[in-house]
Amino acid sequence: MNEAPRIAMVAGEPSGDLLAARLLAALKEKLPTARYFGIGGPKMAAEGFDAWWSLEKLAVMGYAEALKRYREISSIRRSLRTRLLTEKPDLFIGVDAPDFNLDLEVALRAKGIRTIHFVSPSIWAWRGGRIKKMAKAADHVLALFPMEPPLYEKAGVPVSYVGHPLADEIPLVTDPKDVRGKLRLPDHHNPIFAFLPGSRQSELSQLGGIFVETAKRIHAVLPDALFLVPLTTRQTKLAFEAEISRRDAKHLPWQLLFGHAVAALGAADAVLVASGTATLEAMLVKRPMVIVYKVATLTYQIMKRRAYLPYVGLPNILAGRQIVPELLQKAATPEAIAEALLAEIAPGRREELQEVFTDIHLALRQNMAGKAAAATLEVLRRTARN
Angle at 59 between CA 53 and CA 62, to 5 degrees: 150
Enter the pTM of the model.
0.84
For the ranges 12-16, 144-148, 163-167, 378-382, the lowest mean pLDDT is seen at 12-16
- What is the arrangement of strands in the sheet containing 192-196, beginning at the earlier edge strand? 254-258, 226-231, 192-196, 270-274, 289-293, 326-328
H helix or E strand, kind and range, residue 237: helix 234-246
Residue type at 184? R
pLDDT at 72 (0 to 100): 78
Q: How many Å apart are CA 364 and CA 384, to the nearest integer?
A: 32
Cβ burial, residue 81 (10 Å; 0-12/13-18/19+): middle
Asked whether the beta carbons of 120 and 137 are under 8 A apart, the reply is no
The pLDDT of 366-385, averaged and rounded, is 92
Tens digit of each residue's pLDDT (9 = 90 or more) over 276-298: 889 999 999 999 999 998 766 65
Burial class (CB in 10 A: 0-12, 13-18, 19+), 48: middle
The predicted structure's pLDDT at residue 202: 66
Burial string for 338-355 (b: 16+ CB within 10 Å, else e) reads: bbbbbebbeeebbeebee
CA distance 383 to 115: 10
Which pLDDT tens digit goes with each residue over 296-327?
A: 665 565 556 555 456 788 999 999 899 999 99
Residue 308 has, within 13 A of its CA and on its CB side, a CA count of 10
Q: Is the pLDDT of residue 191 over 90?
A: yes
pLDDT tens digit string along 22-57?
999 999 999 999 999 999 999 999 999 999 998 876
10 Å Cβ neighbour count for 305?
A: 8
User: How many angstroms separate the CA atoms of 49 and 24, rounded?
Assistant: 8
Instruction: Give first-to-last CA distance, the chain, whole Å.
Output: 10
Three-state SS for 35-84 is: EEEEEECHHHHHCCCEEEEEHHHCCCCHHHHHHHCHHHHHHHHHHHHHHH
In the predicted model, is pLDDT for residue 168 greater than 80? yes
Q: What pLDDT digit, counting tens, does each position of 61-107 carry?
A: 444 455 566 677 888 889 999 999 999 999 999 999 888 899 999 99
Q: What is the mean pLDDT of residues 254-267?
A: 93
| Whole-angstrom distance, CA of residue 84 vs CA of residue 30 | 24
d(CA 167, CA 280): 9
Contact call for residues 86 and 2 (beta carbons, < 8 A):
no
In three-state secondary structure terms, 156 is coil
Residue count of the chain: 386
Q: If pLDDT is split at 50, 70 and 90, which confidence band does 21 have?
A: very high
- Provide mean pLDDT across the span 154-162: 95
- Rounded to whole angstroms, the Cα distance separating 85 from 115 reads 13
What tens digit of pLDDT does each residue of 209-245 get?
Answer: 899 999 999 999 999 999 999 988 888 888 899 999 9
Contacts 24+ apart (CB under 8 A), 29-34: 29/373, 30/373, 30/377, 31/3, 31/4, 31/5, 31/377, 33/3, 33/4, 34/4, 34/5, 34/6, 34/7
pLDDT at site 329: 82
Contact of 372 with 162, CB cutoff 8 Å:
yes
Res 386: pLDDT:
64
If you average pLDDT over residues 253-262, what whole number do you get? 92
With a CB cutoff of 8 Å and minimum separation 6, the contacts of 103 are: 77, 137
> pLDDT value at position 63?
47
Beta carbons of 53 and 80 less than 8 angstroms apart: yes
* Cβ-contact 196, 264 below 8 angstroms: yes
**pLDDT of residue 1 exceeding 80:** no
Q: How far is CA 198 from CA 62, 205, 294, 307, 321, in A?
A: 14, 10, 11, 22, 24
Segment 116-144, tens digit of pLDDT: 999 998 876 556 678 899 999 999 999 99
